[in-house]
A and B are shown apart, each in its own frame.
Chain A
Amino acid sequence: MSAQQNPAQRVAIGISFGNSYSSIAFTSGEGRAEVIANEDGDRQIPSILSYVSGEELHGTQAKAQLVRNPRNTVAYFRDFLGQEFKSIDPSPCHQSAHPVPQESTVAFNIRDTPEEKENTVTISEITTRHLKRLRNSASDYLGKSVNSAVITVPTNFSDAQKEALNKAAKEAGIEVLQFINEPVAAVLAYDARPDAKLADKIVVVADLGGTRSDIAVIASRGGIYTLLATHHDYEVSGFQLDQVLIDYFAKEFMKKNKSAGDPRENERALAKLKLESEAVKKALSIGTSAAFSVESLLNGIDFTATINRSRYELLAIKQIAAFTRLVAHAVEKAQLDPLDVSEIIVAGGNAHTPKVASALSAAFPETTKVIAPSTSPTAINPSELAVRGAAIQASLIQEFELEDIEQSTHPMVTVTPHLSHAVGVLCISGEESHGIFHPIVDAETPLPVRRSAIIATPKEGGDVLIKLAEGARHIKVTKPEPKPKEEKEKDEDDSDEDEDESEEEIREKTWKVGKILSEAALRGLQKGAKVEVQVNIGADLSVNAIFREVGGKGGVRGILQGQKGVNGSA
């Protein structure tokens, strides 16, 4: 291994590196993550390089070259890293430099020198150049040389892809402290806010990016995150939303200019259409209408038009519905019900689109909080979620030796037993023999764990029974009662007779009592007393519980044996 940074000399940042955009962020002394603007003033920096007479352009300047200089402009390349040519999907690169096979990897043929000679530049070298530009922007901003980073990657980035990215980063002078998963970075960005409360919840991160969509279902348990299911799709993407607008404006152009032809069939016109359509899409995230304006779109004809948001939403209805279905599918894949989902964090640039968020709100129960700019005034900019999480993680680990970080991220430490059922207590119900289960520790909580609950007691106090049990979440479905037939016949002008059948059933989250684990008695409670139950569960499934009256003396302690030979005291 080449020279490692001495932790004391590290200047670490967070980097999110997408196929479409990249961002850089650092964590200030006060622990706040701040996203850095580059020299162009951009916080979302297009992951694009372009060469003009040997000069390297980056970011927004390079993106503008997609019109004039597409074959010397390298874009949408992140996913090619560490892959063989035969396994990549080159379609996002139709309108820029085309990927070509190069030994076991992917490269681009570009004229990147003043001599304008065509060179074969590997994906690894392109990535290094891109990361160097990001690193320089961060160094300029911070006034010190950045030398390490936490970088976010999709959850399906392979080890080979990470290794390739690690190498490319090293070439750019960046020591990668850790790769972290994009959706987990998004959750961390929220949890690191000063007013955030630790909770046990199921969070879905629904990321609608430029070239792909990525869904992750995460069990968040006291600030520890477990991926329960992930799902990826390369059809449903921001590109598709852009295409909807491209088609709309192309048709409008043709209506107005009958003999001019289809701008989508001319490479340069299409590139202009695409850039402007993306800009219109972004404008529609804030405004209720937006103007499209391109000089000399085709045959020297200038074209301007406007579109309002509701028209756009109608045009994009299929694509947005497809994204919603992906989210529902991921929840199914995790063997959960929509009612189990506490929050959906809408991430990726297209999360700015109000309809993307509102379609999710409509598809999920009211109890699911959809967090996006249009649904929650305190939402974090969805384009910045990953990079903020990365910067926070960087600040948490920058003082550790690399070896320490590697040890902590090793399966020896990360593979952890998770509860298969919730553990809780039985409270009183109408039916004495049964009791109503109330969870204290949720299923899918990693062990060891410690949780406590405060429970009400009968009004008059006295002696109570505390049963610890496992509980299984159950979805109770109630069909609305059909109206009595007779009544309907009498009511002749009742025109919505048939609607009864389509009336929605009511779905509720309830609990089924499972295995009883233990019983404990607390005696002589005061009137209005409360009981505290503390449950410690070890990695060996041993349970150590304490039952006591709040403010009272003594209490009862109980131990359930776990599995022998497994070490894991709580």
Chain B
Amino acid sequence: MDTVQIALPLPVLPEGWAGEKDFKAIGSLSQATDRNIEPVGPHFLAHARRKRHKRTFSEDDR
């Protein structure tokens, strides 16, 4: 996948902002929807391989 390019700048860090190791967890993702992906094409095969062998993207890259 191509990297998403975003031309609008990020905001300046507000005065006094603090977080542990500069990170603050705030919320969690909304519930996902279960759907069937089509078992077709090379990228599906890679997905199936990862899922069946319980591998991650980075393990896959190696």
Contact = CB atoms under 8 A, between A and B. Distances in A.
A455 B2 contact: no
Given A226-B36, A447-B32, A396 B6 contact: no
Contact of A453 (B5, B13, B22, B27): B5
B2 A428 contact: no
Interface stretch (A50-58, A67-75, A127-135, A458-466): A458-466
Interface residues of B, number: 49
A448 interface: yes
A454 B48 CA distance: 29
Nearest to A516: B26
A518 B25 contact: yes
A307 B28 CA distance: 63
A488 interface: no
Contacts of A393: 40-41
A522 B9 CA distance: 13
Contacts of A223: 41-44
Contacts of B56: 448, 569-570
A393 B43 CA distance: 11
Interface residues of A, number: 95
A411 interface: yes
A182 B20 CA distance: 51
B32 A541 contact: yes
A432 B13 CA distance: 11
B35 interface: yes
B28 A396 contact: no
A541 B23 CA distance: 18
A145 B62 CA distance: 39
A139 interface: no
Contact of A435 (B11, B28, B36, B57): B11
Contacts of A569: 56
Contact of A454 (B4, B23, B35, B47): B4
Contacts of A414: 36-39
A451 B4 contact: yes
A396 B42 contact: yes
A522 B11 CA distance: 11
A427 interface: yes
Interface string A94-126: 000000000000000000000000000000000
Given A453-B4, A456-B10, A408 B52 contact: yes
A409 interface: yes
Interface in A453-496: 453-459, 462-466, 470
B19 A521 contact: yes
Interface in A434-456: 435-436, 438-440, 444, 446-448, 450-456
Contacts of A199: 1-2
B37 to A, nearest CB: 5
A418 B32 contact: yes
A520 B54 CA distance: 30
Contacts of B5: 453-454
B27 A515 contact: yes
A464 B41 contact: no
B11 A428 contact: yes
Given A427-B6, A451-B4, A470 B29 contact: yes
Contact of A520 (B22, B27, B35, B51): B22
Nearest to B41: A188
A92 interface: no
Given A198-B1, A427-B8, A428-B9, A184 B38 contact: yes
A225 interface: yes
Contact of A416 (B2, B8, B35, B45): B35
Interface string A382-424: 0000000100110011000000000111010111111111010
B47 A224 contact: yes
Contacts of B40: 180-181, 184-185, 188, 225, 389, 393
A523 interface: yes
B55 to A, nearest CB: 10
Contacts of A409: 39
Contacts of B51: 413
A458 B10 contact: yes
Given A516-B27, A570-B57, A224 B37 contact: yes
A543 interface: yes
Interface in A226-273: 226-228
Given A181-B40, A448-B57, 11 more contacts: A389-B40, A415-B34, A428-B9, A446-B35, A446-B37, A518-B25, A519-B26, A521-B13, A523-B13, A558-B23, A560-B25
10 contacts: A188-B41, A199-B2, A446-B37, A448-B50, A465-B10, A466-B10, A517-B26, A519-B23, A541-B31, A569-B56
The 10 A-B pairs at the shortest CB distance, nearest first, are namely A223-B43, A417-B32, A427-B8, A463-B13, A453-B4, A558-B23, A409-B39, A464-B10, A408-B48, A225-B38
Interface of A: 178, 180-181, 184-185, 188, 191-192, 197-200, 222-228, 389, 392-393, 396-397, 407-409, 411, 413-421, 423, 425-429, 432, 435-436, 438-440, 444, 446-448, 450-459, 462-466, 470, 514-523, 531-532, 536-537, 541, 543, 556-562, 567, 569-570
